[in-house]
């Protein structure tokens, strides 16, 4: 097992290098330079100022030299400084936005699992019932509804008309003057709409997936055996079928690891949440190369790591995989 993990880890290195090379080339191929944003269309910026900026950022060197320099720094985990005017460390900038992004994603993923697994199981066990059809319609409506539109409707209802929930941001203006309990509620209240909405769109996929798995599992021989043994329907479904139907969830969890740090630009803009999506989008638009590369490398590492975790987790949970049986 250890040997397997070690082998996978070693194989990840060339893959990661390949990803960075392709990303580096692609982002530099996009027209425009980071220096353009500060100097173009600015009457007070001369050509000389622009050239000076380019030199300062090392953009006057050939691309392969730039890549090599970047790679050398990466080897010691130095992601460099952002090209944006604040010139902050890439890691500092990411670190500042990571907690809220992860919190939101974890909460919404949790909500998706909590809601969609029961829906999926119930739909499968009551296939083609009214509930099955109704939830199917419901989750697909959720899947198809544009988040920003629904978000605005809910904001008008809960924020403006009813005044129950805050509209955007992470905490209220008078947060510092609240009691501890008040602060906790304030934080929670600000998270309710974003979490609900980001989970809403994800229900469809997960509940459909769960339903399909469950239908697949209940057709297996061991379920027939369990029924033949005279087990109650409850035990058959929840003890024997559900546990097996949940297996692929491990894969989904593994694949979700990189999305934990990703955020949706539209979603974050609507709710004024300072998350990763906005940061990454802004850095792509302003051609902030170190920032973009930093984000891509972290994303790539997490994707590869997530895949590995999923495979290992599978082996751990399923003796058939572990012992190479089918």
Partner 1 sequence: MRPLLFALLALVLIPGPFPPALAAGDDGPAYGDAIIVGSIGDASTLIPALSADTASSSINGLVYNGLVKLDKNLRLVGDLAEGWDISEDGLTITFHLRQGVTWHDGQPLTARDVMFTYRLMIDPATPTAYGEDFKQVKKAEVVDDHTFRVTYPRPFAPALISWGFPVMPAHLLEGKDITTSELARRPVGTGPYIFKEWQTGQQIVLESNPGYFEGRPYITRHVTRVIPDMATMFLELKSGGIDSMGLTPLQYLRQTDTPEFGKQFRKYKYLAFSYTYLGFNLMDPKFKDQRVRQAMAYAINKDEIIEGVLLGLGQPANGPFKPGHWAYNEKVTSHVFDPDRARKLLAEAGWKPRATEEEGCFFSACDRRKEDVTLYKEGQPFEFTIITNQGNKQREMCALIIQQRLKDIGIRIKVQTIEWAAFLKEFIDKRNFEACILGWTIPLDPDLFDVWHSSKTRPGELNFISYKNEEVDRLIDESRYTFDQAKRKAALDRIQEIFKEDVPYVFLYVPDALPVVASRFKGIEPAPAGIDYNFIKWYAPESLQKYHLTP
Our finding on whether 189 is near partner 1 (CB under 8 A) is no
Of 168 and 259, which has the nearer Cβ to partner 1?
A: 168
Out of 9, 15, 30, 71, name the contact with partner 1 by CB under 8 A.
30
Out of 36, 78, 132, 318, name the contact with partner 1 by CB under 8 A.
36
Q: Which two tokens stand for residue 147?
A: 């988040």
> How many residues line the site for partner 1 (CB under 8 A)?
58
Helical H segments across the chain, by residue range: 2-29, 34-39, 47-56, 63-75, 90-125, 130-144, 147-154, 180-200, 203-218, 221-228, 233-235, 242-245, 247-261, 265-271, 276-285, 289-317, 319-322
In the block, which residue shows the tokens 């290098």? 17
Our finding on whether 272 is near partner 1 (CB under 8 A) is yes
Helix axes 90-125, 247-261, angle to 10 degrees: 150
Q: Which residues within the stretch 168-187 sit at the binding site for partner 1 (CB under 8 A)?
A: 168-170, 173-174, 177
Q: By C-alpha distance, which of 44, 194, 223, 13 is closest to 108?
A: 194
CB 156 within 8 A of CB 167: no
Of 258 and 268, which has the nearer Cβ to partner 1?
A: 268
Q: Which stretch binds partner 1 (CB under 8 A): 88-96, 200-208, 216-224, 235-243?
A: 88-96
Smallest separation (angstroms) from partner 1 to the CB of 46: 5
Site map for partner 1, 53-72, x if CB under 8 A? x--x----------------
Q: Which two tokens stand for residue 9?
A: 């880890």
Smallest separation (angstroms) from partner 1 to the CB of 101: 11
Site map for partner 1, 230-269, x if CB under 8 A? --------------------------------------xx
Site map for partner 1, 284-313, x if CB under 8 A? -xxx--------------------------
Our finding on whether 8 is near partner 1 (CB under 8 A) is no
Q: Collapse the DSSP code of 89 into the 3-class scheme (helix H, G, I; strand E, B; otherwise coil) and give the result.
A: strand
Smallest separation (angstroms) from partner 1 to the CB of 22: 20
Q: Which two tokens stand for residue 80?
A: 């460099």
Q: Which stretch binds partner 1 (CB under 8 A): 8-16, 64-72, 275-283, 301-309?
A: 275-283
Our finding on whether 75 is near partner 1 (CB under 8 A) is no
Our finding on whether 167 is near partner 1 (CB under 8 A) is yes
Our finding on whether 97 is near partner 1 (CB under 8 A) is yes
CB 307 within 8 A of CB 12: no
CB 225 within 8 A of CB 167: no
CB 283 within 8 A of CB 82: yes
| Ramachandran bin of 88, using left for φ above 0, alpha for ψ from -120 to 50, beta for the remaining angles | beta
* CB-count burial class (<10 Å; 0-12, 13-18, 19+) for 202: buried
Of 44 and 325, which has the nearer Cβ to partner 1?
A: 44
Compute the distance between CA of residue 82 and CA of residue 126 in angstroms, rounded to an integer.
Answer: 55
Q: Which stretch binds partner 1 (CB under 8 A): 61-69, 89-97, 244-252, 256-264?
A: 89-97
Q: Collapse the DSSP code of 158 into the 3-class scheme (helix H, G, I; strand E, B; otherwise coil) and give the result.
A: helix
Out of 11, 15, 17, 52, name the contact with partner 1 by CB under 8 A.
52
Residue ranges that bind partner 1, judged by CB under 8 A: 30-33, 36-47, 49-50, 52-53, 56, 81, 84-88, 93, 96-97, 148, 152, 155-156, 159-160, 163, 166-170, 173-174, 177, 268-275, 278-279, 285-287
């Amino acid at each position: 097992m250890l040997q397997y993990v070690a082998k996978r880890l070693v194989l990840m290195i060339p893959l990661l290098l390949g990803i960075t090379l392709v990303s580096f080339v692609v982002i530099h191929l996009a027209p425009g330079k980071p220096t353009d944003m500060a100097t173009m269309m600015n009457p007070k910026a001369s050509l000389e100022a622009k050239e000076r900026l380019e030199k300062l950022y090392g953009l006057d060197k050939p691309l392969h030299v730039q890549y090599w320099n970047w790679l050398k720094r990466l080897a010691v985990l130095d992601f460099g400084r952002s090209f944006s005017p604040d010139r902050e460390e890439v890691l500092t900038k990411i670190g500042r936005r990571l907690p809220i992004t992860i919190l939101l994603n974890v909460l919404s993923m949790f909500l998706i699992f909590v809601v969609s697994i029961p829906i999926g199981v119930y739909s499968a066990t009551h296939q083609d019932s009214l509930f099955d059809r109704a939830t199917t319609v419901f989750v697909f409506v959720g899947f198809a509804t544009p988040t920003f539109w629904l978000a605005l409707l809910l904001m008008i209802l809960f924020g403006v008309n009813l005044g129950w929930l805050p509209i955007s941001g992470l905490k209220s203006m008078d947060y510092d003057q609240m009691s501890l309990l008040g602060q906790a509620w304030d934080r929670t209240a600000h998270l309710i709409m974003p979490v609900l909405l980001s989970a809403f769109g994800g229900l469809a996929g997960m509940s459909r997936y769960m339903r399909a798995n469950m239908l697949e599992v209940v057709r297996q021989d061991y379920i027939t055996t369990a029924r033949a043994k005279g087990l109650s329907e409850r035990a058959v479904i929840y003890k024997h079928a559900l546990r097996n139907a949940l297996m692929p969830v491990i894969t989904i969890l593994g694949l979700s690891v990189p999305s934990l740090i990703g955020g949706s630009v539209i979603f974050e803009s609507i709710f004024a949440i300072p998350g990763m999506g906005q940061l990454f989008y802004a850095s792509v638009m302003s051609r902030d190369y170190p920032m973009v590369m930093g984000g891509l490398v972290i994303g790539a590492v997490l994707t590869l790591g997530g895949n590995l975790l999923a495979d290992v987790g599978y082996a751990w949970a399923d003796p058939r995989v572990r012992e190479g049986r089918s």
